[in-house]
Structure 1
Amino acid sequence: MFSNYLSVRPDTLNQRAAEFLEDYRQAQEQLVAEPVMQNNREAWKPPPESAFKLNFDAAVFSEVNRSDVRAIICNYKGEVMAAMSARGPTVHCSEEGELLACRKAIEFGIDAGFSKLVIEGDNVNVIKAISSQTASLSLLGNVVEDIKHLIRDLQWESISHTRRNGNKVAHVLAQHARIIVEDLYWIEDSPPLVVGHLYQDLCLL
């Protein structure tokens, strides 16, 4: 299913390898320079042992007229089960970008075979909209209802809001979207550019 996700064009391989190495180096420097705060109440929290946590985020780059979607799925130990970094459509506001990112992230999770998910994002309005039991009458209501339909197909789900620190790995992926030239997917592997942040989360478990 994911063979096409993992393919890499030869003409971009060297460029991507250099970018990932530089991101990894910077992450290691940051890890040394910024000690982990043990009292950080906004840290990433693990899902139940039988489930997985799906964190998503969006980045909107108005100067290049596009959005980007980032998602990461981890188990209760904080180990990365799957991750994605994909280009999104043109959007008119950050909330639209977050809703479209949420929909694409859940589709990715389902396609990757995950049916028990804690779905978590840092946009409170998006989380409220997809958690609501009433139909959305907003201009983005069709996207909200698409997300609710996807969620109903899961065996088990929990929807929660987190602040930026609890969603920092997905956020870092989103902010690095400017250097991505094609959609990237990782299965049972960690994106190199967030290794340092993943380690910080594990230290707080």
Structure 2
Amino acid sequence: MVNLFRRFIADTDRCTVCNAQPEDILHAVWGCEALENVWSQLSWARSSVAIPPGDFSNLFAHFLQDFLNAQDPNPISTQLPTSVQWRPPEPNQYKANFDGAVFQSTNSAALGVVIRDWQGAVIGALSVRIPLPQTVAEVEILACCKAVSFALELSLREVVFEGDVVGVINAIKSGTAEHFSFGHIIDDIYHSSSHLNRCDFCFVNCSCNKVADPLAKKAKEGNDFKVWLEDISTDLAPLVASDVA
């Protein structure tokens, strides 16, 4: 009614039901006294909005947050990490950083993994090219899966896996693989990581993942699969050194 009044189509902007307030969207779905009997049947609705919302988007935000909280009583944090530089793992543990790259020109993608010990020394690294998956998220999930299998091949038992796509890390940590189109890959990660004595999956800033990213992109140069053991590509050695400087 408010919009009709502003366009000179209606003679008044007042609600035709209660005739007490202007009839905007918020009033029509929430504020009108005629709706009190409707909303009072839903105790969660009134209790979730203790303070009258200022506009419709504010009301929607209240309900959306209430819905999300109801889905998971202990939601996974999506806050950005505070660290902006790679940190070594705890003594006698290892850290595997993974990343993916997409090459649209060749309809392919690539995975990069670097695993280092608690002193920052490279235990192993790899770069592999793969056919282009359907989504970018699937590229990152495959990179994580490759990182886990690589750690097992190196006979490591306590590993922290780090990636820079928060949605992928949250998907892995959610424990509900069936909710995702790439759930079968998450299941592979669960199965493989179960053979480790201890592992964790963490989201990090891109600056903490600056070795894995160029490793993935190296696959565009022609080698479909390249592995380094206790070493890394010469051009990436300065990046490794800067992480522990």
> What is the TM-score when the length of structure 1 is the normalising length?
0.76
The C-alpha deviation readout for 1:53-76, integer Å capped at 9, x for no partner, is: 000011111110111111000001
Q: Distance in 1 between matches of 2:228 and 2:165?
A: 24
Letter in 1 for 2:89: P
Q: Is the Cα–Cα contact under 8 Å of residues 173 and 193 in structure 1 kept in the other structure?
A: no
Quick one: which of 143, 147, 161 aligns to 1:105?
A: 147
Aligned residues: 164
Q: Is the Cα–Cα contact under 8 Å of residues 110 and 127 in structure 2 kept in the other structure?
A: yes
Q: Distance in 2 between matches of 1:190 and 1:61?
A: 23
Q: Distance in 1 between matches of 2:177 and 2:126?
A: 29
Q: Distance in 2 between matches of 1:57 and 1:100?
A: 9
Q: Is the Cα–Cα contact under 8 Å of residues 128 and 216 in structure 2 kept in the other structure?
A: no
Moved more, 132-141 or 56-65: 132-141
Please name the residue that 1:116 is paired with: 158
Aligned residue for 1:136, secondary structure, equals helix
Please name the residue that 2:184 is paired with: 142
Residue 171 to residue 134, structure 1, CA distance change in 2 (3 Å): same
Q: Distance in 2 between matches of 1:83 and 1:174?
A: 10
Please name the residue that 1:178 is paired with: 220
Q: Distance in 2 between matches of 1:180 and 1:49?
A: 37
Please name the residue that 2:167 is paired with: 125
Please name the residue that 2:13 is paired with: none
Aligned residue for 2:244, secondary structure, equals helix
Q: Distance in 1 between matches of 2:145 and 2:177?
A: 16
Which aligned runs of 4 or more in structure 1 are off by greater than 2 angstroms?
Answer: 133-136
Quick one: which of 184, 192, 195 aligns to 2:234?
A: 192
1:143 Cα deviation from its structure 2 partner: 0.9
Alpha carbon RMSD of aligned pairs, Å? 1.5
Q: Distance in 2 between matches of 1:153 and 1:136?
A: 21
Q: Is the Cα–Cα contact under 8 Å of residues 120 and 244 in structure 2 kept in the other structure?
A: yes
Q: Percentage identity across aligned positions? A: 33
Quick one: which of 111, 131, 137 aligns to 1:95?
A: 137
Q: Is the Cα–Cα contact under 8 Å of residues 129 and 136 in structure 1 kept in the other structure?
A: no
Please name the residue that 1:157 is paired with: 199
Q: Distance in 2 between matches of 1:41 and 1:137?
A: 30
Please name the residue that 2:21 is paired with: none
Report which of the two structures shows the higher radius of gyration computed on alpha carbons: 2
| 1:3-152 equivalence runs, <5 A | 41-152=83-194
1:41 Cα deviation from its structure 2 partner: 3.8
Structure 1 segments unaligned to the other structure (5+ residues)? 1-39
1:133 Cα deviation from its structure 2 partner: 2.7
Moved more, 48-57 or 190-199: 190-199
Aligned residue for 1:109, secondary structure, equals helix
Higher relative contact order, chain-length normalized (CA < 8 Å, sep 6+) = 1
> What is the TM-score when the length of structure 2 is the normalising length?
0.64
The C-alpha deviation readout for 1:66-123, integer Å capped at 9, x for no partner, is: 1111100000111000011111222122101111111112111111211110011111
Q: Distance in 2 between matches of 1:195 and 1:71?
A: 14
Please name the residue that 1:27 is paired with: none
Q: Is the Cα–Cα contact under 8 Å of residues 58 and 70 in structure 1 kept in the other structure?
A: yes
Q: Distance in 1 between matches of 2:84 and 2:193?
A: 25
